[in-house]
Amino acid sequence: MFRNQYDTDVTTWSPAGRLFQVEYAMEAVKQGSAAIGLRSNTHAVLACVNKANSELSSHQRKIFKVDDHIGVAIAGLTADGRVLSRYMRSECINYGYTYESPLPVGRLVVQLADKAQVCTQRSWKRPYGVGLLVAGLDESGAHLYYNCPSGNYFEYQAFAIGSRSQAAKTYLERKFENFPESSRDDLIKDALFAIRETLQGEKLTSTVCTVAVVGVGESFNILDQATVESLINEFEISGEEGPGVAEEAAGGDGGGAATDQGGAAAEEEAAPMDI
């Protein structure tokens, strides 16, 4: 990325009112492998793409359990995500010890955002290069938040971050109106379809994705490979086109095709961090 005299320090503003190091941290999130979250009134589902640095190595974990009612999926620098998930666990333990009740999801997200914001206002620190999708369940229902390296946070019905996440967002935007009343299995199905959209032709199997669920009567848990594979086979996801994909492909004009080719070239130039 282009360097200039305003990007050597996270506390230095450019004349255009930008903090370049914060923007670079947000770019690190875009380069990480994709992570997806969606929620209904009673359940929240997280899913991510497993990418290894080479054929000889295993992939790194992208989904972490924070508490029985909260979990996170990350995109970006895994080391930063690991540190922040450990911080979130500590906050949940301290709150439970003090108040003998689960920490509300929204309160934890605000604390996490405050911690990220401090790193944008200290010259001796750097922003966390990771984005977090926080899924949880509390007295007010299921929640899904996105925490940004800038310290901002947003609540979503469904969202996707990381490399090639735009394809997943397009799918989720077509379906999100049905999510509030969706069942647990329907949410998992839509999550797997969205994950497949980010693979760009690669076959979806249980080895290339991880899925986690939390909901009413169900603690946060990461589904094992056998369960995910059976769901993929049951939904026939690996072999069929998602709803509306074929129609959009047939109805697209030449300009759209050129745009897609340009986007694919850009993805090849900026290969996703295999984390």
The pLDDT value recorded for residue 4 is: 72
Residue closest to 141 by CA, chosen among 88, 214, 35? 214
Q: Count of alpha carbons within 13 Å of 48, Cβ hemisphere only?
A: 29
CA atoms lying within 13 Å on the CB side of residue 80: 25
Residue 269 scores a pLDDT above 80: no
CB pairs under 8 A, 24+ apart, for 18-22?
19/120, 21/126, 21/127, 22/120, 22/127, 22/149, 22/150
pTM of the full structure:
0.84
Structure tokens given for 182? 């969706």
Give me the pLDDT at residue 56, please: 78
Q: How confident is the model at residue 3 (pLDDT cuts 50, 70, 90)?
A: low
At residue 275, the pLDDT reads: 53
**Reported confidence tier of residue 51, pLDDT bands at 50, 70, 90:** confident
Where residue 255 falls among pLDDT bands split at 50, 70, 90? very low
Comparing 15-24, 41-50, 196-205, 214-223, which segment has the lowest mean pLDDT?
196-205
- Angle (nearest 5°) at CA 213 between 207 and 217: 145
What is the rounded distance in angstroms from the CA atom of residue 66 to the CA atom of residue 3? 37
> What is the structure's pLDDT at 259?
41
For residue 54, what pLDDT is reported?
A: 76
Give the Cα separation of 134 and 155 in Å (integer).
9
Predicted pLDDT at 270? 45
Our measurement of the distance from residue 158's CA atom to the centroid of its chain's CA atoms, rounded to an integer in Å, reads 10
* pLDDT number for residue 134: 98
Mean pLDDT of the chain: 86
Domains of the chain: 20-238 (3.60.20.10)
